[in-house]
Amino acid sequence: MLRRVRVIGCLLTLLLVAGCGYSFASRSDAFPKDIRTVYVEPFINQTRDVSIDKELTAALRSEFYRRGQLRIVDRADQADGIIAGVVRSLDSHVASVNRNDEVLQYETAMIVDATLRRREPNEIIWRTQGTRLTDIHGGSRAAVVTTSSEFKSGTLNADDIRRMTDIQLTETENRAVRDQLVERFARELHQRMIEMF
């Protein structure tokens, strides 16, 4: 019964959205009409993180595939446009400490450059340099707010936090934040590229 109510609710929402003239985002008018297929070159990694380039490349390919505005191809010679990029940095530093100089929070930042170029003739049609995304995360068990919506949407629970050392928590949080930054970058780069922003 509850499932039927949800399905009916979703259908009504779709009908309302369709009826009010709203449409889902598509390519901007500034985006070249001749670019219909894209190849995502493996990103170049200038960080000490050995796999961040591969993960960002895969996440960007997935984002384009999910959005469906452009078709992803497996080889550059099949593409109208070629996306290339560089992961310039991925760093964490202390963002806040308590009165005993114990770390409460870290800030993780990732900086990426990316381009979209037309394959024939070979020309850059979009570029972003130094795009920076950051995230703040706990550095000690005392700094974790287990009642926050962000914590509740994660994979840890309050019992996990109590059993972890601060070092274990920091490592777990670093990995989660890194994965979130990769996904956010894929969405951000896709959106900026499609809107030619």
Token pair 């959205």: residue: 17
Please give the tally of structural domains in the chain. 1
- pLDDT, tens digit, for every residue of 149-161? 666 666 666 666 5
Under the banding of pLDDT at 50, 70 and 90, the label for residue 188 is very high
CB 173 within 8 A of CB 138: yes
Task: Give dist(CA 122, CA 184) in Å, integer.
Answer: 29
> Domain range for residue 126?
35-195
Q: What is the pLDDT of residues 127-142, one digit of tens each?
A: 999 999 998 876 555 5
| Joined tokens for residue 123 | 């020309």
Q: Is residue 17 part of a domain?
A: no
What CATH number corresponds to the domain at position 162?
3.30.160.150
Residue 51 located in a structural domain: yes
Q: Tell which wins on pLDDT, 36 or 177.
A: 36
- 28 occurs within a structural domain: no
Give the 3-state secondary structure of residue 144: coil
Asked whether residue 4 is domain-assigned, the answer is no
Specify the amino acid at residue 164.
M
Do residues 139 and 170 lie in contact, with contact meaning Cβ atoms separated by under 8 Å? Answer: yes
Is the residue at 111 inside a domain? Answer: yes
Query: How do residues 75-106 score in pLDDT, each as one tens digit?
Result: 999 999 999 999 999 998 888 777 777 777 78
Q: Which two tokens stand for residue 84?
A: 């290339």
Residue at 22 is within a domain: no
Structural tokens at position 45 = 């990694």
Question: Does residue 140 form part of some domain?
Answer: yes
Q: Which helix (H) or strand (E) holds 33?
A: none
Going by DSSP bridges, is the β-strand pair 103-118/123-138 parallel, antiparallel, or unpaired? antiparallel
Question: What CA–CA distance (Å, rounded) separates 139 from 143?
Answer: 7
Helix residue ranges, H only, the chain: 2-19, 52-67, 149-152, 158-163, 166-195
User: pLDDT tens digits for 60-73?
Assistant: 999 999 998 899 99
Helix (H/G/I), strand (E/B), else coil: 171: helix
Give the residue among 72, 53, 93 at the shortest CA–CA distance from 185: 53
Domain contains 149 = yes
Query: Which residues is 67 bridged to in the sheet?
Result: none
Q: Is the pLDDT of residue 116 over 90?
A: yes
